[in-house]
Amino acid sequence: MATRSSEGITQLLEKWSNGDEYALDQLTPLVYDELHRIAQNYIRRERHEHTLQPTALVNEFFLKFFDQNSTSWQNRAQFFGVAAKLMRRILVDHARAHHSVKRGGDRFAVSLGDIAAFGAEPDADLLALHDLLNRLEEVDADQARIVELRFFGGLTIQETAEVMKISHATVEREWKMAKAFLKRELTRARNSS
């Protein structure tokens, strides 16, 4: 199934990355299905295990879902860029749906527990983060892209540097400032609300 569907997915991803928003509509349920399928497999396999390792799970998702060796990808950068954008889109859509149903939904409370600043209303914060990132993009597109790759794409600083063809030190510097900006804005938004 993974092989068969990944061709279609790859094409859809390409279309989407070329600006075809309709392709995303077709893509999202596929991505969801695949995520669910992998998660279920994972849970089944790990039924007796003490902990679930989310990173392993999502890595599996990326490996299976995106055929990154496909010749149609111009380069690694494009691949990771699209992957990160897709993850961002999915999470934001999910948070949006969840947030509208139930303010301060409890589902993310725990998952976000480690991300201290995310506090009591994680769904709202994820949406706020998304909006801030859009604002950041207007003034500093590179920083926004770094955040997208690092936070939504899960790339390391080194990987981000490779993908963006800039130095390790630059990524580190820009990442630091972008985080400071996001943190300040999130804190400001919370304090004023």
Partner 1 sequence: MITHDRWQRIKEIFQSAQEKTPAERIDFLNEMCGDDSSLREEVEALLTADASNDDDHFLDTPAFELGAGLIVGDTHEPIEFSAGQKVDHYTIVRLLGAGGMGQIYLAEDDHLGRKIALKFIAREFATNPRRVLRFEQEARAVSSLNHPNVCVIHQTGVIENNRHFIAMEYIEGITLRDKLARETLTSLEALHIAMQVAAALASAHAAGIVHRDIKPENIMVRPDGYVKVLDFGLAKLTERVSQPQPASKNVRTEAGTLMGTVKYMSPEQLREFELDERTDVWSLGVVLYEMLTGLTPFESRVPNDSIVMILGPQPVSLPFPDHVPVRLREIVSKALQKDRDTRYETTHKLAADLSALHKELERQSDGDTEAINAPASNLYLPPVKSGKTQQLTAGSAIFQRLKSQALSTSDFLVSEIRTHRTAAALFTGATGVLVLLLLLPSAPRVTNWLLSRSAVEKVFVPKLTFLTNSGTSVVAAYSPDGKFVAYVEEEFGKQRVVVRNAITSDSWTVTPPEEGRYLGLSFSRDNTFLYLTRKETDGRSLLYRLPYPATASVQPLSLQVKADVHSAISLSPKGDQYAFVRTDKNGNGFSVVVADALDGRNERVLSTRGGDGGSTFSTLGLSWAPDGRTIVCPTGYWNDGFHMQLILIDVNTGNERVLGTKDWFFIDQAAWQPDSSGVIICAREAETTPFQLWRVTYPGGVVQKVTNDLNEYRGVSLGGDKIVTVRTERPWQTWITTPGGGQSVQIASGVGFTYGITWPTSDAIIHASKSGDRMDIRLMNPDGGNKTPLTYSGINYTPAGSPDGRYVVFSSDREHEGSFNIWRLDVRSGDLKQLTFTDANYYPSVSPDGKWVAYDNMSNTKMSIWKVPFEGGEPIKIIDGYRMPVFSPDSKLIAARYDEDSGSKDVAIFSADGGEALQRVPVRIIEWQTVRWFDINTLTYIERVNGVSNLWSYDLRTGAKKQLTFFDSDEIVAFAWSPDFKRVACQRVSNIGDVTIISSER
66 part of the interface to partner 1, by CB under 8 A: no
15 part of the interface to partner 1, by CB under 8 A: no
Q: Which of 6, 66, 108, 128 is the binder for partner 1 (CB under 8 A)?
A: 108
Tokens representing 104? 């301060």
169 part of the interface to partner 1, by CB under 8 A: no
151 part of the interface to partner 1, by CB under 8 A: yes
107 part of the interface to partner 1, by CB under 8 A: yes
Of 8 and 54, which has the nearer Cβ to partner 1?
Answer: 54
Q: Which of 16, 61, 65, 66 is the binder for partner 1 (CB under 8 A)?
A: 61
In this structure, are residues 149 and 163 in contact, taking their beta carbons and an 8 Å threshold? yes
133 part of the interface to partner 1, by CB under 8 A: no
50 part of the interface to partner 1, by CB under 8 A: yes
- Applying the rule CB under 8 A, the residues between 74 and 103 that interact with partner 1 are 87-88, 90-91, 94
DSSP-assigned states of every residue in the chain: -HHHHHHHHHHHHHHHHTT-HHHHHHHHHHHHHHHHHHHHHHHHHTTT-S---HHHHHHHHHHHH--TT-TTS--HHHHHHHHHHHHHHHHHHHHHHHHHHSTT-SHHHHHTTTSGGG-S-HHHHHHHHHHHHHHHHHH-HHHHHHHIIIIIT---HHHHHHHHTS-HHHHHHHHHHHHHHHHHHHHHHHHH-
Q: Which of 30, 77, 109, 189 is the binder for partner 1 (CB under 8 A)?
A: 109
176 part of the interface to partner 1, by CB under 8 A: yes
Residue type, 21: E
Residues that bind partner 1 (CB under 8 A): 35-36, 38-40, 43-52, 54-55, 57-59, 61, 87-88, 90-91, 94, 106-117, 120, 126, 135, 138-140, 147, 150-154, 173, 176-177, 179-184, 187
